[in-house]
Amino acid sequence: MQALPVHRCQVFGFPWEGVYGTSIDSALHYGRHWHATYGLGLLEQGAQSSASGRGKVDAYAGDLITTNPGEVHDGRPLGGPSRRWRMVYLDPGVMDGIKGDAGPEVEFTRPVLRDARLGHTLRRLFERLDAWRVNADGAEALACEESLAEVCGLLLEAHSTTQPAPSSTAGGDMRRLRDRLADDLHEAPKLSDLAAMAGLSRYQVLRRFEKTYGVPPHAWLLQQRAERARGLIRRGESLADAAAASGFAD
């Protein structure tokens, strides 16, 4: 009896509507198909040959792979029995929210990318998503959303037919956002909520907050939590009580 080809696929959710991910280890040959979403992934092991909207392409371990909405593609192992990759998929409306407008539809310009900075940022997004799935609190969700905005911003800047809307000098008072983060260290706001407060896109907020305070909102929130815990411990609180009072899980 012939053994079935290896195929392990996990679909996982994100903290927000319109985004999901997959983790796949597969020897299958995928026939031609398309998605209604944008896709960005990391080929973690092995290699793959596929058709794309720009012809046949090969991708190897460490390469990034992209698909545009409606772009017909397929995929099969290259030079080995299988390959392993992770993907994140975004509805077009999510991409519009990150770039800051609903103008012409974005198109990624290449199906295979070799970009060290983007690859590092995408890996961090996957790491933060894994942490969020273990401890689904607001701070972890904010960290995931920051990484997603950064990933999309880098894609838009370097590998697409459009770019994020420039940061205007109007609006965007970062002190209001900082105060919102400090108001309740237990319940972190979404990056989209901070963006709405500032009248900016999520990518713009991420960039401007970090320029103003030296760190992005998630890191600033963790620093505030640590400062509160340090003060409580100094006053004699137990480690467990100080952690709970400061928004930490342990």
In a 3-state reduction of DSSP, which class is residue 170? coil
The one-character DSSP state at 57 is E
Domains of the chain as residue ranges with CATH: 7-137 (2.60.120.10), 166-250 (1.10.10.60)
Q: Is the dihedral of CA 32, 22, 13, 205 positive or negative?
A: negative
Model pTM greater than 0.85? no
The one-character DSSP state at 160 is B
What is the structure's pLDDT at 164?
59
Neighbours of 8 (CB within 10 A): 10
Label residue 1 exposed, middle or buried (CB < 10 Å: 0-12, 13-18, 19+): exposed
Per residue in 80-117, pLDDT tens? 999 999 999 999 998 888 877 767 788 999 999 999 99
In the predicted structure, residue 167 carries a pLDDT above the cut 60: no
Grade residue 169 by pLDDT with cuts at 50, 70 and 90.
very low
As a whole-number percent, the residues of the chain with pLDDT over 70 amount to 91
Rounded to whole angstroms, the Cα distance separating 81 from 168 reads 51
What is the structure's pLDDT at 17?
87
Lowest pLDDT segment from 49-53, 56-60, 152-156, 185-189 = 185-189
